């Protein structure tokens, strides 16, 4: 192979997960430069259609690969950063907002440094909705990211650009973060494994102490379970001054847990949303089939709803999310030196900001208190069960545009998006517990989606039980593999 790879070689590399790509570098069968060139070839070919990568950093990536890389678990493997919360010095950082269109980062986040220390080569930044607050990746600043399985449909959000890039094989895995489902929702919509770690597993500093009382976490979207676990081994652990202690990691690491039998687990499940509605039939089928598979693997299964999800919890979530929007706008106002004008924020963001200005500090703390009380109820539930299963999303991916607000209808994204993300993925963020979306089902084929659309199944467990969840994910992956499934456009000629 040469540094400029022909398409057939780039495509062959793209079929490998990050662990196998790193293995080629470690064994001397390929160079880091060749891996990076393979990723660049695929990004340049596929991105004009998908709009997943909004800030390429190809020259920096080439220079990084040529200069020599740390010997880590992923030496030479190309990687993409989501354009939200995580910063890379000297790279545009817009968080999907016209208010920050020309903003450039002046430092690396601690997680960025750890990713580089693991040997990863950062090739660009991926698309995200404005400030990550929408369940679809269609910001006015950068335009819509299209789902590789059906380019007329959403990738969900907010890690939608990263999800599209991994699903199409631009890179083997990519960064995501999660305030209420933003890793897991796009994983479901794009047929990937999406793992949300326990609170404080990965650092969010030095710029942030925490985000929304610890709701937000950092990690990745991957094709294989082992990539997710090995990456968490490489990046997790406390940083100086972190406000929360990190739960102890397993002595042998998370990657070792993937191959370990999880034992007989007590699994609760429901196909009903908190308001009692049934999910789309394809999402119900995904869950039913997974429950049957788990029973055949020897797990104890029982249908039961999660306790405590009442109107007071919903109100507290609304108050806390409003406070997040207010904090984000005020944070960037401090950095930019002025408040945004109405045409610099999207209609839904502006409406949330204006509405939440009237929320007092006391009301916010009352909301956090109510959510912490709910977290205690959830902890009680997990003394009786090990895992709670639901569909990740309440329907297959919606058409692009369905969840986009307008000045005349600023609440449309919430009104349409709410039922789409009706299952309470945010419980993991409230409680600090690990959770995951596993690609367990595809819909029937259609002309627009000849391989069908992916449907994820969501699993929530108790706080700190990340290793157990990885063991369950590994068992499901062995029993019902998904890595062989690719959207047609990933390896076909594009028009």
Instruction: Summarize pLDDT for 26-53 with one digit per residue, the tens.
Output: 999 999 999 999 999 999 999 999 999 9
Task: Note whether residue 1 is domain-resident.
Answer: no
Coil vs helix vs strand at 446: coil
Instruction: Determine which helix (DSSP H) or strand (DSSP E) holds 457, and give its type and residue range.
Output: strand 454-460
Task: Note whether residue 414 is domain-resident.
Answer: yes
Q: What is the mean pLDDT of residues 265-273?
A: 97
Residue 180 has pLDDT above 80, yes or no: yes
CA distance 172 to 167: 8
Task: Note whether residue 495 is domain-resident.
Answer: no
Task: Note whether residue 342 is domain-resident.
Answer: yes
Instruction: Summarize pLDDT for 290-319 with one digit per residue, the tens.
Output: 999 999 999 999 999 999 999 999 999 999
Give residue 459's pLDDT band: very low, low, confident or very high (50, 70, 90).
very high
- The first and second tokens of residue 101, run together, are 């269109």
Task: Note whether residue 295 is domain-resident.
Answer: yes
Catalogue the active-site residues.
82, 158, 182
Orientation of helix 347-356 relative to helix 311-336, angle to 10°: 100
Task: Note whether residue 227 is domain-resident.
Answer: yes
Number of neighbours of residue 238 by Cβ within 10 angstroms? 14
Name the DSSP class of 82: E
In sequence order, the β-bridge partners of residue 122 are 79
Cβ contacts of 406 within 8 Å, gap of 6 or more: 347, 412
pTM reported for the whole predicted model: 0.97
Domain limits at 362?
7-490
Q: What is the mean pLDDT of residues 210-239?
A: 96
In sequence order, the β-bridge partners of residue 387 are 267
Task: Note whether residue 2 is domain-resident.
Answer: no
Residue 2 has pLDDT above 50, yes or no: no
Residue 495 has pLDDT above 60, yes or no: no
Count of structural domains, the chain: 1
Q: Are 223 and 192 in contact (CB under 8 A)?
A: yes
Number of neighbours of residue 138 by Cβ within 10 angstroms? 27
In sequence order, the β-bridge partners of residue 78 are 121
Output the domain CATH number for residue 109.
3.90.1300.10
Residue 164 has pLDDT above 50, yes or no: yes
């Amino acid at each position: 192979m040469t540094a400029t790879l022909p398409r057939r070689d780039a495509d062959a590399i793209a079929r490998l997960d990050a662990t196998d790509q790193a293995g080629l570098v470690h064994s001397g069968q390929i160079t880091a430069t060749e891996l990076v060139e393979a990723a660049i070839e695929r990004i340049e070919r596929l991105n004009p259609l998908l709009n997943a990568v909004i800030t390429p950093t190809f020259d920096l990536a080439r220079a990084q690969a040529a200069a020599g890389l740390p010997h880590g678990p992923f030496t030479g493997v190309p990687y993409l950063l989501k354009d939200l919360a995580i910063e890379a010095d000297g790279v545009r950082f817009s968080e999907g907002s016209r208010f920050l269109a020309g903003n450039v980062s002046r430092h690396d986040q601690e997680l960025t440094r750890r990713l580089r220390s693991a040997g990863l080569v950062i090739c660009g930044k991926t698309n995200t909705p404005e400030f990550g607050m929408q369940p679809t990746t269609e910001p006015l600043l950068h335009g819509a990211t299209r789902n590789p399985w059906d380019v007329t449909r959403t990738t969900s959000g907010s890690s939608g650009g990263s999800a599209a890039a991994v699903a199409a094989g631009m890179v083997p895995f990519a960064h995501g973060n999660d305030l209420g489902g933003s890793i897991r929702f796009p994983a479901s919509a794009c047929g990937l494994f999406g793992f949300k770690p326990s609170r404080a597993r990965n650092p969010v500093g030095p710029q942030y102490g925490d985000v929304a009382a610890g709701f937000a976490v950092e990690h990745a979207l991957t094709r294989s379970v082992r990539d997710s676990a090995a990456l968490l081994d490489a990046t997790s652990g406390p940083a100086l001054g972190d406000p929360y202690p990190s739960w102890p990691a397993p002595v042998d690491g998370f990657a070792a847990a993937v191959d370990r039998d999880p034992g007989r687990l007590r699994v609760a499940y429901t196909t009903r949303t908190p308001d009692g509605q049934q999910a789309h039939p394809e999402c119900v089928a995904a869950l039913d089939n997974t429950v049957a598979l788990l029973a055949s693997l020897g797990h104890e299964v029982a249908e039961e709803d999660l306790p405590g999800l009442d109107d007071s919890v919903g109100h507290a979530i609304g108050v806390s999310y409003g406070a997040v929007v207010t904090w984000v706008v005020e944070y960037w106002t401090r950095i930019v030196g002025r408040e945004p004008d109405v045409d610099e924020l999207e209609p839904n963001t502006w409406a949330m900001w204006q509405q939440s200005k009237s929320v007092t500090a006391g009301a916010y703390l009352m909301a956090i208190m109510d959510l912490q009380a709910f977290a205690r109820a959830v902890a009680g539930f997990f003394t009786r069960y090990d895992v709670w299963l639901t569909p990740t999303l309440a329907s297959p991916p919606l058409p692009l545009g369905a969840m986009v607000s307008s000045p005349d209808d600023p609440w449309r994204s919430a009104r349409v998006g709410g039922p789409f993300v009706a299952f309470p993925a945010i419980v993991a963020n409230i409680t600090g517990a690990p959770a995951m979306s596993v690609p367990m089902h595809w819909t029937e084929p259609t002309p627009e989606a000849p391989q069908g659309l992916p449907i994820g199944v969501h699993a929530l467990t108790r706080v700190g039980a990340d290793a157990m969840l990885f063991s369950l994910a590994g068992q499901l992956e062995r029993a019902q593999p998904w890595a062989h499934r690719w959207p047609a456009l990933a390896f076909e000629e594009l028009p």
